[in-house]
Amino acid sequence: MCHNFFILLPGPLPAPRSHVINTPASYPSGYQGIIMPVVIVKMRKGWSVDQKRTIVKEITGTLVRTLNIEPELVTILIDELELENIGKAGKLRSDTR
């Protein structure tokens, strides 16, 4: 199985106040840019839509809890790969089945 997770996070966030969820209105004055965690999940083709829904829900929940941000700021990209496009240990995965 090939599972790679790439998480692109913004630079340092302002320290969240424990009772306030980070929203654009709570960012420091003069802050520019969009706080936008983007997670790229690269995996082999063949997972069901329900499994992908679960992946999106769980990763989003983790980032919301960890970064204290709104779920609307989280983007998950799922990149499905054919086994012929994945190499491991010098061989194509499609050749090692």
Query: What positions carry a catalytic annotation?
Result: 37
DSSP the chain: --EEEEEE--SPPPPPPTTS-B-GGGSPTT--S----EEEEEEES---HHHHHHHHHHHHHHHHHHHTB-GGG-EEEEEEE-GGG-EETTEEGGG--
